[in-house]
């Protein structure tokens, strides 16, 4: 009997602390988003903060920008990771070195990568100066804007660069588990390499690809530091907008900041729930 509950009992202190802090913070944030802030004399519950931000053009633009960043970076990273995993699956000279280089940026923090993107791709960065030196542009400021730009190109580049090895390693592990037998059977029955990939390997990889993609999407949708460093001021990404409202000197803006945080959490939860439902149906089929 004790052996059955040994591991849960050993994990319970850490789980209580983590879950307590998470649930407590979420509860306090939700109460604050309803306008209950005794420190500034607001002791009634209302939905004014939600009403104000949902009717705000600034919030809508920030939401669309954040969704664009998360969706675009997830799709590009997933496709490139799938291609990289298919290549690294093969045997070739120097494969171990390439595999090491493929994984090395997993150890690099997001902020360090963002600073690198800033120094390389800004209009005063390395590539702009090289383009000027080689007379490709008449002055560095003519270099295409990829940092602080409306399309968030620099932010997407950073997320893609960082998340490709994360998704790729999950796919490589799946490929090692699957093996090559199913593809060999399909090719022995007359299927081409593309057909065996499209109809045999890819469906087997889809659960892992969808799982890693959803993790990346949820992370990039709620991440603050990269949009704050590489993003434009208006419209700002949703986490940046929430932080700006939270740190506003006017404490009356605090409920709006907490309401934005609750909306981000709710959207992430809805997307994860929808993904889980879709995955269960996909696996059944």
Residue 26 lies in a domain: no
User: What CATH number should be reported for the domain holding residue 129?
Assistant: 1.10.3720.10
| pLDDT-derived band at 193, boundaries 50, 70, 90 | confident
Residue 86 lies in a domain: yes
Domain of 175 in residue numbering reads as 56-284
Can you give the length of the chain in residues? 285
Give yes or no for a contact between 246 and 23, defined as CB atoms under 8 angstroms apart: no
Share of the chain above pLDDT 70, in %: 96
Half-sphere exposure of 140 (CA within 13 A, CB side): 12
What pLDDT does 70 receive?
92
- Predicted confidence (pLDDT) per residue in 106-145, tens digit: 888 888 888 888 888 888 888 888 888 887 888 877 788 8
Residue 201 lies in a domain: yes
Residue 2 lies in a domain: no
- Predicted confidence (pLDDT) per residue in 56-77, tens digit: 888 899 999 999 999 999 999 9
Query: Into how many domains does the chain fold?
Result: 1
What pLDDT does 20 receive?
82
Residue 21 lies in a domain: no
The mean pLDDT of the chain is: 84
Question: In the predicted model, is pLDDT for residue 88 greater than 80?
Answer: yes
Half-sphere exposure of 218 (CA within 13 A, CB side): 17
Q: Provide the token pair at 133.
A: 């030196």
Residue 17 lies in a domain: no
Residue 173 lies in a domain: yes
Residue 43 lies in a domain: no
């Amino acid at each position: 009997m004790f052996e059955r509950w040994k591991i849960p009992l050993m994990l319970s202190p850490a789980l209580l602390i983590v879950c307590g802090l998470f649930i407590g913070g979420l509860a306090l944030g939700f109460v604050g988003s309803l306008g209950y802030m005794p420190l500034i004399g607001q002791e009634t519950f209302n939905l004014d903060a939600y009403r104000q931000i949902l009717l705000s053009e600034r919030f809508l633009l920030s939401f669309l920008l954040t969704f664009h960043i998360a969706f675009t970076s997830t799709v590009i990273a997933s496709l490139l990771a799938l291609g990289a995993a298919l290549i690294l699956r093969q045997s070739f000279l120097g494969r171990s070195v390439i595999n090491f280089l493929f994984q090395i940026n997993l150890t690099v923090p997001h902020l360090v990568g963002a600073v690198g993107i800033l120094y390389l791709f800004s209009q005063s960065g390395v590539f702009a100066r090289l383009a000027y030196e080689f007379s490709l542009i008449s002055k560095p400021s003519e270099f295409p804007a990829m940092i602080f730009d409306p399309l968030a190109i620099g932010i997407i580049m950073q997320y893609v660069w960082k998340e490709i090895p994360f998704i790729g390693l999950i796919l490589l592990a799946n490929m090692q588990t699957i093996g090559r037998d199913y593809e060999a059977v399909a090719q022995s029955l007359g299927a081409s390499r593309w057909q065996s990939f499209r109809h045999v390997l890819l469906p087997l990889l889809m659960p892992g690809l969808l799982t890693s993609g959803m993790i990346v999407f949820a992370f990039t949708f709620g991440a603050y530091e990269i949009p704050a460093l590489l993003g434009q001021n208006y419209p700002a990404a949703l986490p940046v907008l929430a932080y700006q409202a939270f740190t506003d000197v006017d404490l009356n803006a605090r409920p709006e900041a907490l309401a934005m945080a609750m909306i981000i959490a709710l959207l992430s939860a809805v997307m994860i729930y929808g993904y889980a439902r879709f995955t269960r149906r996909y696996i059944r089929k």
